[in-house]
A = this chain, B = another copy of it.
Amino acid sequence: MSTEDQLGGYNRLASILAWLLLLLASATSSLRAETGDAAWLRYSPIDAKIAQERYADIPAVVVPLGESEIIRSSCDELVWGVRGMLGQTLRIESKPPKESFILLGTYDLVKKEIPTFEKTPDLAIDGFWLKSIQFEGRNCLVITAPDDRGVLYGVFTLLRKICLGQAIASLNEQHQPFAPLRVVNQHDRLDGTLSGGELPGSIFWENGHVAKDLSRARDFARLLASVGINGVSVNHPGAGPRLVTAPYLDELSKVAKVLRPWGIRLYIAINSTSPPRSAGGQRSRDKLVNSNDLDAGDAWKGLVDEIYRNIPDLGGLVLHADWGGYLEGPERGPEHAAAINAIAAALAPHSGVLFCRTCRCQVHVDIADAMADPAKAAYDLFQPLDGQFADNVILQIKQGPMDFQVREPPSPLFGALEKTNQAVELQITQQYLGQQRHLCFLVPMWKDVLEFNMHASEGETPVKQLVGGKTFKRQRGGFVAVSNLGRSNNWLGHDLALANVYGFGRIAWDPNLSSKAIAEEWTRLSFGHDPLVVGALVDMLLKSWRIYESYTGPLGAGSLTDMAGMHYGPGIESADSNVWAPWHSATASGVGKDRTTATGSGFIAQYRPRVAEQFESLETCPDALVLFMHHVPYSHTLDSGKTVIQHIYDVHYEGARDAARLVQQWQSLNGRIDDKRYEAVLSRLNYQAGHAKVWRDAVCNWFLQKSGIADNDGRVGNYANRFEAETLSLEGYAPLNVTPWETASGGQCAECIDPSGKGALSMKFEGKAGWFQIDVAYFDENDGASRLCLRIAGQVVDEWTAEDSLPDNKPNGHTSTRHQTARIALRPGDEIRIEATTDGGERAAIDYLEIEPASG
């Protein structure tokens, strides 16, 4: 007596539901068991009173129409979400029942089931309609759309409404996306490592092949689908030619299969090392992009056809061309457009598109040439080709002309293309923005760029309008994010960093949403509705980018980090003196890269005149970008009335102070959010507060040395409570010069050199008796886990292990870390002693001790 027949394909739901229910088991036992991996799709029980008031009458039955995998996902998600939030399990039925119900399906199928259903609206693909109707005397909530994916988005939207406590009794809402393409690029390497944010563990790749267990890839797809992302590339473009050969295409088809039920199309990233075989079976690297001969075109056609045989719904290709990095010969001109169009032509019959990245991050320039400026490269290369690209080519333009610095102007290329599809490339990975170790909510930064009026035409032409295709009526365009979700805890290692993933999806769907609205939505979905939690967390998120900027990259000078290396800790010298480019161009007399038309690289001339005028003049150029556009003396006075050099000092002290306040703000939420996320975030924020001081001191001292101008407040270089490790009594320790010098206090640290691996530093306390806190600044490398022990007058008062996984194996700004021991009673004559045991290659290098009267 099985009812399986009558339910048709829904028997297959069993395995999916089993998975859902496993997760649910813990969810129903308590709303406080958080894994972090659920991100904003927790579906924890909502307030009982609100549930009773607003959702008591929710239909008991859901009727999904049609057999598509996306409709199945939609239906499962609805059942799961309602079960989690309201505690009841909806019935899945194949026909409208004799009671109220929720109907899921495309227009056509809804019309077939309910012929009286009113005229359907004219929605863009992926748009949807939530519409309450009466059907044969019963309440029916219709979730319908032009395509299956829209129905899925409608379900996620309905669930979001319930989670946010919004009424759903009588709905008539139409939603549609701002732009058709909303894509995420994961630059995962085939060996399983991630690129960009330096987090561990690809969810797609391991040991050169697609991961055997793709369950986490499935969760990833679901997360992205919930905010309307409809495409994903999952490989680093350097994967090479093997990726587009038969065995790999078979593997990639498994990834596509996991993404498909969530309406996400797979894209494949390629570069100049992944050309097709020519007709004769020979590879020709040159033929990838700089040749328009028919042979190459034919080869692309054969290859692309083969890809589509494996993955019929492939979204397309993402071309990372490495212009100048690998390609020799002529770089400009119509040949490039033709070569790109040859690939596009192969994709066109399959409705595939070609994203063509315009960044030139591999450009080496002659630093002595004032006109040489990597910021100019994308425009120089592509602006002349405007109008020459096929309709299914989209130029994918990084938000700024450089490389995801903490502050850049919008790329001038956005304003320069009238007959070419374009998409903005944003970065979720925080590559230069603290790599998920520092809190940095990116939506306000993205909004700055997207709202920037490029004056590309009459009226307002903000970047969002241009990439949305609104200004010049382009059919294809949108939003691309480089992301690095992986196997870390909570996907990114920092629970609050998930707000950037959510924020990207929401802003790609509707760039008119405010940063605050997005932050608040995410907070409520992720942490519930406690007003104190919402208030504090939204505030923390909204100010976090400005705080990070204030201690890492002032006035548009760029991120003052190790530009040719890990892009993480401070490295002011290396932020400029490297082969890629001049960046901040600091000299003894001034700072900033002169990009003016009059005296500089001429970059500013790439903007439309009204924008160029604003940047060209020191008077009108915003201070936030002044060092990006101009080289100014340190004594230049900003709008605030401060000199540039004093601003640099002040803002770094303010930033370090504000980073410390984030810790306190978070601590005020103790007990109001689940323990696991509370602990994890607290640990990150504490680390950030310490590293902000490392940044502050490195930047301030470097500029003090460079400029020779003292801090008005006498802070920089004067650390009354600081005791340099290299000046203490050393046992088994020796001084070491740190490179770059500015990343260690006084340019030096002390490292353990005793062959036994044991050593100690000590000093005599000569201050007045009292309660103190002692900060030990040390270098926590990734090549060992040293043990450190702090003794006062012989008594052990603290012990810890240097076992964070920071991105370097040397003492420098990446690895510099502070550990605080709170409220220690010191008396004159006390010996303060640090004992160390080294581990692996890590020599327990110590920078200094800072001894300050205890707070609180």
Assuming the contacts A29-B682, A60-B771, asked whether A13 and B795 have C-beta atoms less than 8 A apart, the reply is yes
Docked-complex contact A88 and B682, CB < 8 angstroms: no
- Proximity string of chain A (816-841) to chain B, C-beta cutoff 8 Å, 1 when within and 0 when not: 00000111110100110100000000
Stretch from A191-199, A670-678, A688-696 contacting the other chain: A670-678
B762 & A33 in contact (Cβ 8 Å cutoff): no
B residues near A795, Cβ cutoff 8 Å? 7, 10, 13, 17, 91-92
Q: Are A824 and B794 in contact (CB under 8 A)?
A: no
Interface string of A705-737 (1 = CB under 8 A from B): 000000000000000000000000100000000
Determine which of B1, B60, B670, B679 lies in contact with A825 in the assembled complex, contact meaning CB atoms within 8 Å: B60
Instruction: Bin the interface of chain A by size.
Output: 35 or more
Across the interface, do B61 and A825 meet the contact criterion of CB distance under 8 Å?
Answer: yes
| Bound-state Cα–Cα, A825 to B58, Å | 12
Contacting A796 at CB < 8 Å: which of B1, B14, B86? B14
Mark A1-41 against chain B: 1 for CB-CB distance below 8 A, else 0.
11110110011011001100110010011111110000000
Q: Closest CB of chain B to A18's CB: distance in Å?
A: 5
Q: A30-B682, A682-B29 are in contact. Are A87 and B794 (CB under 8 A)?
A: no
A338 to B830, CA, bound (A): 63
Q: Which A32-72 residues have C-beta < 8 A from chain B?
A: 32-34, 48, 60-61
- CB of A673, distance to nearest CB on chain B (Å): 9
Contact present for B729 and A796 (CB under 8 Å)? no
A800 at the interface (CB under 8 A from B): yes
Cβ of A166 within 8 Å of any chain B Cβ, yes or no, is: no
A90 to B33 CA separation, bound complex (whole angstroms): 37
**Complex alpha-carbon distance, A473 and B678, angstroms:** 57
Residues of B within 8 A of A99 (CB): 769
Say which residue of B1, B6, B10, B789 sits within 8 Å of A729 (CB atoms).
B1
Contact of A3 among B10, B17, B28, B831 (CB under 8 A): B831
Contact of A91 among B2, B10, B14, B825 (CB under 8 A): B825
A490 vs chain B, min Cβ distance (A) = 16
Q: B60 and A793: CB pair below 8 A?
A: no
A28 and B822 in contact (CB under 8 A), knowing A21-B796, A33-B675? yes
A residues 741-774 near B (Cβ < 8 Å) are 762, 764, 769, 771
Q: Is there contact, CB below 8 Å, between B13 and A823?
A: no
A817 to chain B, nearest CB (A): 15
In the complex, A113 has a CB within 8 A of chain B: no
Bound-complex Cα distance A142 to B162 (A)? 61
| Pair B670/A30 contact, Cβ less than 8 Å | yes
| B799 and A32 within 8 A (CB) | no
Q: Are B33 and A824 neighbours in the complex by a CB distance under 8 Å?
A: no
Complex Cα distance, B746 from A15, in Å, reads 34
Instruction: Kindly supply a per-residue 1/0 record for chain A positions 268-288, scoring 1 wherever the CB is within 8 Å of any chain B CB and 0 otherwise.
Output: 000000000000000000000
Q: Is A798 an interface residue (CB 8 A)?
A: yes
Does A792 touch B at the CB level, under 8 Å? Answer: yes
Q: Compute how far the CA of A672 lies from the CA of B6 in the bound complex, rounded to whole angstroms.
A: 48
A6 → chain B closest CB, angstroms = 8
Nearest B residue to A792 via CB reads B91
Which residues, 282 to 325 on A, are CB-close (under 8 Å) to B? none
Q: Does any Cβ of B come within 8 Å of A588's Cβ?
A: no
A114 contacts the other chain (CB 8 A):
no
Chain A stretch 796-826: residues in CB contact (< 8 A) with chain B = 796-800, 821-825
Residues of B within 8 A of A739 (CB): none
Q: Is A683 an interface residue (CB 8 A)?
A: yes
> Please, which residues of chain B bring their CB within 8 A of the CB of A856?
48, 87
Given A22-B799, A29-B682, A670-B30, the answer on whether A87 and B675 have CB atoms closer than 8 Å is no
A245 adjacent to chain B (CB < 8 Å): no
A90 to B1, CA, bound (A): 74
Q: Can you show 27 pairs from A to B with CB atoms below 8 A apart?
A: A1-B831, A3-B794, A3-B831, A7-B793, A7-B794, A13-B796, A17-B799, A18-B796, A18-B799, A22-B799, A29-B686, A30-B678, A31-B670, A32-B675, A32-B678, A33-B679, A87-B823, A87-B856, A88-B823, A88-B854, A89-B792, A89-B821, A91-B792, A91-B795, A91-B825, A93-B793, A671-B671
Top 3 A-B residue pairs of the complex, sorted by shortest distance between their CB atoms: A88-B823, A60-B825, A17-B796
Q: A1-B764, A48-B856, A86-B823 are in contact. List 14 more A-B contacts (CB 8 A).
A: A2-B794, A11-B794, A13-B795, A18-B799, A25-B800, A29-B686, A30-B675, A60-B771, A61-B825, A88-B771, A89-B798, A89-B821, A89-B825, A675-B676
